[in-house]
Amino acid sequence: MPMEPLPDLATLSLPEIARLVEEQRLPPVDQWQPAHCGDSEMRIARDGTWYHQGSPIGRPAMVRLFSTILRREPDGGYVLVTPVEKLAIAVEEAPFVAVEMNTEGEGRDARLAFRLNTGDLVTAGAANPLRFVKDDDGPRPYLHVRGGLEALVARSVYYELAERALAGEDPSPGVWSDGAFFALEPAA
């Protein structure tokens, strides 16, 4: 069965995005506890490219499918899991990349929605917080996606966030989304 085409984030309103997020039906990977079977010979690079045995996976539908069975383990590792097997997968930075942002509202009434490199849509808020990690190259922003899985926010999207933060009236630079405030400066 073919996967539905990805929506164009720029043409969607935030209520439409919320409806699409609500309609996402992901497998219950947190309920599956099969024995560890080995290594998947797969890797997710920092830029979000998925590799199998050293070669990029060229079919976006395959990447989308694999991303639905990805789980973060309590030890911090990543696995692809089904009801009958669990295979390790290497993740260089974060399993997803937030590649596009759509905004509605200003200040405390703002809502920020992100499209991931897999096509998933995530609205930042208390359940999906943004966090910023201090790095030699400047802050690295991350968005919580689900179950301990995060998306690295692409540099171009980070610039959009920073522009919003600096234009805001809050004493500390940051952004509001879905009633939650996220400071751009990492906590000390």
The predicted-structure confidence for 126-160, as pLDDT tens digits, reads as follows: 999 999 998 887 788 999 999 999 999 999 999 99
Do residues 3 and 65 touch, judged by C-beta distance below 8 A? yes
Cα separation values, 10 from 2, 14, 21, 104, 116, Å? 24, 10, 15, 11, 13
Confidence at 1, pLDDT banded by 50, 70, 90: very low
Instruction: Output the pTM of the full model.
Output: 0.83
